Amino acid sequence: MNRRLAKYWTGKTVLITGASSGLGYALVEALAPYGVHFCLLSRRVEPMQELAAKLQASGSQFWLRACDVRKRAEVESAVADFVKTAGRLDVAWVNSGIGGETSYRRWDWDKVENILQTNLNGALYTAHTCLQHIVPQNQGTIVAISSVSAMRGLAGRPIYSITKIGLAYYMEAMAAELPQLQFTTIYPGFVDTALNRGNPRRLWLMMPPQAAQLMIKAVAKRKREYIYPFPMKVVFHLVRALPAGLYRWLGGKMIELSRPR
């Protein structure tokens, strides 16, 4: 067992949204050996129950509830009930999210509003509600899963990319206002989950268990930002530095590259 990870994670109370699949599910598997008291939230309860049963022997404790992050009252009552049981909240992992194309030609208001409500409203409901418990403790961590899609306005996926840059800006602002707390914003590249399985070109694709290990290490190192994998980090910074005119041209090409065939 990694000593730095054990020192940071052992005995912590950790809330994770979107624990029923993909990155959230893998994070629970990665953290369970450290004896964590989990609060698992997502709409589907069954996969979370199966996960808790599978990890029963790990020594971690599991508290789970069906929760739609688009509904503020559901988030508030789930977090309050968990804190009542666990006594405190050490780490809140704002992870739930959905993707999807929202180009001009395929614009669909239901889809657009669902992405905004899940990725932006849902993330803010989760983060703010958790902060209301963490701030009085004067100690604690908010981790937010943004995306490399936040590098620029992504052609074909403008709504997804604005939700992810919006979340990153929220984290930056809160970190400046509340310097006593840890804020870690993570920008994953492509990880093999249901979210991007229709995408034909998933550069430097990683598997969820490997991604989860990288992320729990980055949080234990108290990083403010973490972009992975490394080649994607290079692309992220290069693309951010491109002049607007060049990015416009490149962005138009990207829309074709990322469209499912």
Ligand X SMILES: NC(=O)c1ccc[n+]([C@@H]2O[C@H](COP(=O)([O-])OP(=O)(O)OC[C@H]3O[C@@H](n4cnc5c(N)ncnc54)[C@H](OP(=O)(O)O)[C@@H]3O)[C@@H](O)[C@H]2O)c1
CA angle 101, 21, 60 (to 5 degrees): 150
Tell me which of 4, 7, 44, 222 binds ligand X, using CB under 6 A.
44
- Tokens standing for 248? 């416009």
Minimum CB–partner distance for residue 179 and ligand X (Å): 26
Cβ pair 76, 86 in contact under 8 A: no
Minimum CB–partner distance for residue 67 and ligand X (Å): 6
- Closest to ligand X by CB, 43 vs 217, is 43
Tell me which of 5, 8, 13, 18 binds ligand X, using CB under 6 A.
18
Minimum CB–partner distance for residue 196 and ligand X (Å): 5
Contact flag: residue 184 with ligand X (CB under 6 A): no
Interface with ligand X: number of residues (CB under 6 A): 29
- Closest to ligand X by CB, 8 vs 228, is 228
Tell me which of 34, 190, 236, 247 binds ligand X, using CB under 6 A.
190
Minimum CB–partner distance for residue 107 and ligand X (Å): 20
Contact flag: residue 162 with ligand X (CB under 6 A): no
Q: In the range 194-223, which residues lie near ligand X by CB under 6 A?
A: 194-196
Minimum CB–partner distance for residue 24 and ligand X (Å): 5
CA distance 212 to 243: 34
For the window 45-74, what string marks contact with ligand X as x by the rule CB under 6 A? ----------------------xxxx----
Contact flag: residue 22 with ligand X (CB under 6 A): yes
CA distance 141 to 16: 12
3-class DSSP string for the chain: CCHHHHHHHCCCEEEEECCCCHHHHHHHHHHHHHCCEEEEEECCCHHHHHHHHHCHHHCCEEEEEECCCCCHHHHHHHHHHHHHHHCCCCEEEECCCCCCCCCCCCCCHHHHHHHHHHHHHHHHHHHHHHHHHHHHHCCCEEEEECCHHHCCCCCCCHHHHHHHHHHHHHHHHHHHHCCCCEEEEEEECCECCHHHCCCCCCCCCECHHHHHHHHHHHHHCCCCEEEECHHHHHHHHHHHHCCHHHHHHHHHHHHHHCCCC
- Closest to ligand X by CB, 95 vs 182, is 95
Contact flag: residue 145 with ligand X (CB under 6 A): yes
For the window 118-137, what string marks contact with ligand X as x by the rule CB under 6 A? x---x---------------
Contact flag: residue 23 with ligand X (CB under 6 A): yes
Question: Applying CB under 6 A, which residues contact ligand X?
Answer: 17-18, 20-24, 42-44, 67-70, 95-98, 118, 122, 145, 147, 188, 190-191, 193-196
